[in-house]
Each structure stands twice: as structure tokens, then as C-alpha cells.
Structure 1
Amino acid sequence: MAAPGSGLFLPTVPVAWALRAAGHEVLVANNAQAARTLVAAGLPAVDVCPGRDVFAEFLEASRAIHLTPPGEPRPRRGGLGLFGEEMAEGLLALARDFRPDLVLSTLEQGAGPLVAASLGVPLVEQSVRLAWAGGDEQAVGYRKSIAAYLEPTRVALRVAEPAVATAVIDIRPPSMGGRDSATEWPMRYVPYNESRLLPEWLLSAPARPRVCLTLGSVLPLSGELGELSAFLDRCGDLDLEVVLAMGEEHAAALGPVPGNVRVAGWVPLSALLPSCSAIVHHGGAGTSLTALVHGVPQLVLPRMADQPANAAVVAARGAGLSLAPEETNAASVEAALLRLLRETGPARVAGEVRAEIAAQPSPADLVVRLASLAGRA
């Protein structure tokens, strides 16, 4: 189980695949579009809040908090605890019918510890983050705040004290915080960006350096496209092929683009990035990690949530550059991108991190450990 935002549940798909391929019975629980996406990924999934869109409710609650004037009381409803609050009842009912031997959940889905406690089975937490995991201060703080948020829900549903995860699956490369211990299990990040038909041009070597530009799935919904249109205009004078990976409705709102800008829609980054010399993006954990998997230097333009933290980790490792919101405009993005393409350091470091990730245990390698916890080894 995971929260129903793309970046919060897509990283769990490879583990579910690995467990099913090993012969284990897997049921995935989520909501609305997330549940449909999981079905399209070839997994048996259940929508535990049919007729509702919990992620849309989360975005609206977050917007209300953001719009609260300074000094005014912030709405209680909102934040990561909302996912567990709204989905716990359905998740508990499903789990009691399915009777799993193991609960695999993410930190952001706060109902995971409640479900494991209710059934009396082990809990394993899968991290979906680049900036923190396991015993890191941020992760510990989020667990505590989510548990506090869900305390009224726990009491109302008559669940025992929340379960503590036996282990946390850490998808970070070692040089970027990833750890290996009895309770922190390293795992290679395997990108999954949904399955789509690939255009023919994607598999052909580009005639000039190819740069991917994407802002993820959430930032465009907020309308915060910033200087994107002005930057694309400047790209017309650059000897580059720029691939705009963005929903068609948002790309259309940008108006006409130069001839060397290819509007690609939601092309899977895992298929696009092997042919790219660089990527310009918003700093989502999945996007950042996918670029690291393929050794592609990054220019990160963070805006919200964990994006600034991800950008800081990438820049500190030397695998890319980052611009703060107040520094970001069409000219500064162009200058940073050209620097990224001309300097050898970011590409070299990105290659080092790619090798680190390739040496980590695969999702299939973790199946025996997970099955052992479930008593199914």
C-alpha cells in the first residue's frame, strides 16, 4: 500500500513485480487513478475509496493550508497524514478479508502501521525518497507527525498501538545517504514511469545533444510553469534537441515552440533518458533517481515539497546543478544548462552514481528477505 500520488506509489511497482514473479500472492491497495495505473502495470489492485479521489482531496487541502494568511490558524486537515486518515478504514477492511502474511507500505501511507498492528503481521516500510529514509531525522519526524495526525483515526477504528516496521527498504545510492544494516535494507532503484507505446524517434541516436525537460505531474497542476515558455523560446537558438515530457494539455498552453523542441507527452523517462545528455526538471524524487540510474547530469529547479531537499542532495554529490526559485528565469536556466553540458564533472559523477546503483541489490534480491519475514521462505 502507498499514497495515491504518482511519485508516492510508482516506485513500489518493481517490488510487487518481483514478489509475484517469485510465486507469492500480492494484492495492491490504492485509490482512483493510482489503482487504475497499478492494474495497467499488471498488478491485482483494489480501490479502497471507490467514488473518491483522495489525492485530489490532498491537493485541495494543501492549497487551503498554503493560502492561509500568516498568523492565522492553519486547517488541521492536510499534509501526509490525510492519506491514512481517509484510506485507513477501507485498507483495514480489505486486509482483514485478504489476510496477508506481510504488510509492505510506504511512510506516506500512514495506515500501514495500523493495518499491520490490526492483523498482527510484520510491517516493512519501502522508502520512495532520495533526500531521507530509515533513521534520518526527517523520516523519523514524518513518522511521528503522521502517527500523531492519525491518532483519532486509530482510536475510532479500535486499532492497537501502531506497528513498528521491522525494516525499511532504502532506495538511495550509498554515496547519497543509502545505508545497509539489519533494519535498513538497500535496494536498487528500478524506474517505473508507466508503460506506453514508444515513438520511433526515441530509439534512434539523436543528431545533436538531446535534453529532457519535465516538470513532473503535480507542478503543472498548480499553474506554476514559471519561465518555461520564455526558456523554450531561447532554446530555438541552441544547437540542441529539447524533448518536452509533459501532459499534452499543459504543453498546449505554452503556445508555439521552436523547431528543435519536441513535445513528447508523457513519454517514460526510463526510455528517454538513455539518449539524453542532460535533464532539466522540478526535483521530484522519482525523476532525480531515474536520471541517476542512467547517469544523466541534472539541472534541478525545485519549487515545493521535497524538491529543494532532492536538489540539494544532487548538487552536493556533484551529479548536477540547482537553481533556487528566486534565481530561476529563462536566462539563468539557459546559462546553467549550457554549463552542465560543457563541464565534465557532473557527467563523470553521474556515471559514478550510476555504477553504485547498478551494484545494489535488485528488487528480486529482496524477495527472500521479505518472504522470510512472512514465514514463506
Structure 2
Amino acid sequence: MVPLAWALRSAGHEVQVASEPGFLDTITEAGLTAVPVGPQESLEQRIRSIRGGDDAPEQFEMAPPFSPDSLYELGHAHRDGLAWEGISWLLDNLVVPRTWIMNDELVEDLVTHCRSWQPDLVLCDVMTHAGAVAADAVGAAHGRLLFWLDVTLRLRRDFLRAQERQPPHERRDTLRAWYAEWAGKHGRDFTEELVTGQFAVNVLPERCRLEPHERTLSLRYVPYNERSVVRSWINEAPRAPRVLMTFGISARQWADLPGMSVKELQETLDSLADLDIELVLTVPGELRAQLHSVPENTRIVDFVPLDLILPTCTAVIHHGGAGSFNGAMMHGIPHLVIGYSADAPGKRVLLRQTGAGLSLGPDEVTGPRVREYLTRLLEDDAFRVAAERLQREALAHPAPSALVADLERLTAEHRSRRARGR
């Protein structure tokens, strides 16, 4: 978001970034103008409160006969026959609860600010459904920013297709009900554009998109690493193939986020100890202190900017997060995804279908398995060839500065149309 925000600023536009209060310092450190919306209580605190203080992560059993992998299949050959029971269950039990948990506390503040400031365009993170409600309330154009697989749009279209096959009295739509209630409070009617956006901005190569919006602007992914310092060792030629192992910064912020345990991490390091590689592992200091030994081929750092180290790497092991995945994609690096992120199942399918890497589920992780998969990445050149093909496709997208004119055009079109209909 930061490079796109600065591209708009550099073109002379006013840009404000709305967020919960706990994120304001991150925004202002990027040199952008922050707008606090929502409660002082963080999202993590709200989720813990709803769970009744339970530290255990949410667990859901998938309603049969639904296969979760079918959500992430590239292409549309078999999507018309998906079972209503599974699709509606996912919407009712996963999408809608997360929608109101993450957005209910934001809507009123966001609408109030938009009515005061009168933006022409609202660009929304895909989880921030409140942005579409606020944009619609003031007649602004609005689009969705996509930095990962668009599961929400895929599920929504699967749902609508399945809904058409149901008797009229059984066509419940809890997501529509959420949007319709908020839109009605601000004098608007529900339209499907509230859910889908009037357009989308997507960084993934076209063949990697689950369910592309009819109006999609392709955007080159430009990493933003906050404050970055180039350490001398990064620029030194590695003595052996360099492998980065990182599981993102989310685990530091969310204490109950599933991740590799200390035991699993130590077993993995031990299993990789005799490989002729230079392993760079990013872990916080408190976790480093719990490891009983660190192999000679391993360098442990608290943090390293991905955009600085990835060009020196032969492979990367990561959790499937957007920054890690997109960063490796932009540098043509084969991936080994150890699936702890929310959309890691989709990354697994994407890697299988593009050939750009391998993946392990959380329940498959052992030191020997990580060694086996990493060795395959290092020895089979086909993974590098596939990763470099993805890189070329991603680099062909326009940079943020080149996207500004398209955003101006869509804003003029949708805002003027909305304004005439108000």
C-alpha cells in the first residue's frame, strides 16, 4: 500500500490512510497521513474478548462434502456444481463472523470522516469491508487492493452460483444482510458492488488469480520494508547457496498465531546442519534463546528486509504470507511454504500448478521432511525456471506511478456515476 500511496501523493493527490489507532505510528513512519477509526481496543484484543479470553486459536471443522482445496483451484471448469451446503457454511461460519468482528467497530467512524473529508476514491484492503460502506455513503469510487489470492470474491461467486439452484425460501445470504444493514443506516441500498468493489487492483500474475474482477488493474508489487539497514554480510558473496527461512512478523504481534514450535524449529535446524548451504533464519531474540544449538551453516537474525536479502538467495522457506510470497516471486526465488498463514492452502495449490515451489502443511512438518523438500528445490532446476517465469510475468505489470492515470480515470467514471444517482 505504501508505494501506491506515495505514487498518488507524488502525482499531486491528497492521500489519507484510515486505520485502528494501534497502527497509526506505522502509517506516520511511512510519511503518510493517518486517520484513527474504530476503538482503542486492538483487533487481537477484540477477538480474545469474543472468545472469552481463550488463548487457543479458532478451530473449525469443514462441512462435508466441501473440499477446501477447491476454493483455490485456478480456472473455473468445475465451479458450477459446488455443494450449497459447503459454500453457505463457509460464508456463515468463517466470512461473515470475521467481517463483523473486523469491521463493525470501524464503519461509523469511517463514514463520519468520509462525510467530512469527501474523498473521491477509497481503496480498501480486502478485509476492510467498512471502506466500501463508507465510500458508497458519500458517493466515492471504491476498489479493492489485492496482495494475495482473492478468496472472498471466489467464495462470493461460488455462493451466488449455488444460491441460484436453491428454492427461493432457502436462499439466505448473511453477507448481503450485513452490507444491507449498514448501507441502509446511511441511506443507501445494497448492491453487489459493495461486496466486490467497482474494480480491483491485483499484484499477482494473471494466471495466478482465483476469480479476477471484470475490471482489474494489474500492479507491480513493490516491497516496503519500513526502516531498513543494509548489513555488510548481506552484500558478501555467500560461500554456499543462501537459503532464507522466515515466518513473518505476525507471530510477534499475535501470541496465539499458529507457527513452528521451538522443538520443530530445532529439529529442522539439526536436519539441515550438514547441508552445504548458508541458512539465514529470522527469529526474535526470545525464541533464539530457547534453541539449544545453532549449526555452523546457520545465521540467526532478528529481522532482515526481504527486498535486500532475497536477491542473494537460492531458495526461501516461509509461512505463505503476502510479503514473503510476493517478495520471492518478484526475485524469481523458488518457495518452500510451510503453511501457517491464513491463505497458505491457496499458496500450496498455486505452487503446485505453477511449479514454482513446494509446500508442507503444519501437520506435515518434521526436520527430515523440510530437508527433503529443500534439497529438491536446490537440486531440481525446474523450480527455478518456473519461479523466474512468474517473476517475468509479475515484472511486466505497471509500477505504482504508471497506475495513477488509470485510477484517476476509474475514479472520474464511478464517482460521477454515483454522484448523479444520489
Structure 2 length normalisation: TM-score? 0.76
Q: Which runs of 5+ in 2 are unaligned?
A: 64-91, 161-172, 414-422
Q: By percentage of residues, which structure has more helix?
A: 2
Q: Which amino acid aligns with 1:158?
A: H
Aligned 1:196-275 pairs, distance under 5 A: 196-219=228-251, 221-222=255-256, 224-226=259-261, 227-275=264-312
Find the aligned partners of 1:146 and 1:251 in 2 and give their Cα distance. Answer: 43
Find the aligned partners of 1:151 and 1:46 in 2 and give their Cα distance. Answer: 25
Are 2:76 and 1:87 equivalent residues in the alignment?
Answer: no
Find the aligned partners of 1:76 and 1:116 in 2 and give their Cα distance. Answer: 21
Change (3 A) 1:224 1:26: same
1:244-278 deviations in Å (ceiling 9; x for gaps): 12333344344542232222222221111111110
The alpha carbon displacement at 1:70 in A equals 10
State the partner residue of 1:9.
Answer: none
Aligned 1:290-305 pairs, distance under 5 A: 290-305=327-342
Find the aligned partners of 2:280 and 2:158 in 1 and give their Cα distance. Answer: 38
| 1:106–1:126 Cα contact (<8 Å) kept | yes
| 2:321–2:341 Cα contact (<8 Å) kept | no
1:140-186 deviations in Å (ceiling 9; x for gaps): 4699765544554445x435235622211121112323898861111
The alpha carbon displacement at 1:19 in A equals 0.4
Find the aligned partners of 2:293 and 2:340 in 1 and give their Cα distance. Answer: 25
Q: Aligned to 1:303, what secondary structure does the other structure show?
A: coil
Change (3 A) 1:43 1:306: same
Find the aligned partners of 1:114 and 1:216 in 2 and give their Cα distance. Answer: 31
- Give aligned-pair identity as a percent: 32
Change (3 A) 1:230 1:340: same
| 1:102–1:373 Cα contact (<8 Å) kept | no
State the partner residue of 2:125.
Answer: 106
State the partner residue of 1:122.
Answer: 141
Q: Which range moved further: 197-206 or 74-83?
A: 74-83
Q: Which amino acid aligns with 2:242?
A: R
Find the aligned partners of 2:342 and 2:285 in 1 and give their Cα distance. Answer: 24
| 2:330–2:391 Cα contact (<8 Å) kept | yes
State the partner residue of 1:46.
Answer: 35
Change (3 A) 1:362 1:127: same
Q: Which amino acid aligns with 2:120?
A: D
Q: Which range moved further: 32-41 or 209-218?
A: 32-41
Are 2:208 and 1:176 equivalent residues in the alignment?
Answer: yes
Q: Aligned to 2:98, what secondary structure does the other structure show?
A: coil
Q: Which amino acid aligns with 2:186?
A: R
| 2:3–2:400 Cα contact (<8 Å) kept | yes
Q: Which runs of 5+ in 1 are unaligned?
A: 1-11
Change (3 A) 1:128 1:228: same
| 2:96–2:174 Cα contact (<8 Å) kept | no
Change (3 A) 1:319 1:67: closer
State the partner residue of 1:132.
Answer: 150
Q: Aligned to 2:105, what secondary structure does the other structure show?
A: helix
Number of aligned residues: 362
Find the aligned partners of 1:301 and 1:25 in 2 and give their Cα distance. Answer: 40
Change (3 A) 1:216 1:78: farther
| 1:295–1:347 Cα contact (<8 Å) kept | yes
Change (3 A) 1:60 1:240: farther
Find the aligned partners of 2:292 and 2:99 in 1 and give their Cα distance. Answer: 35
Find the aligned partners of 2:350 and 2:93 in 1 and give their Cα distance. Answer: 30
1:14-42 deviations in Å (ceiling 9; x for gaps): 21111011111100101244322121112
Choose 1 or 2 for highest CA Rg.
Answer: 2
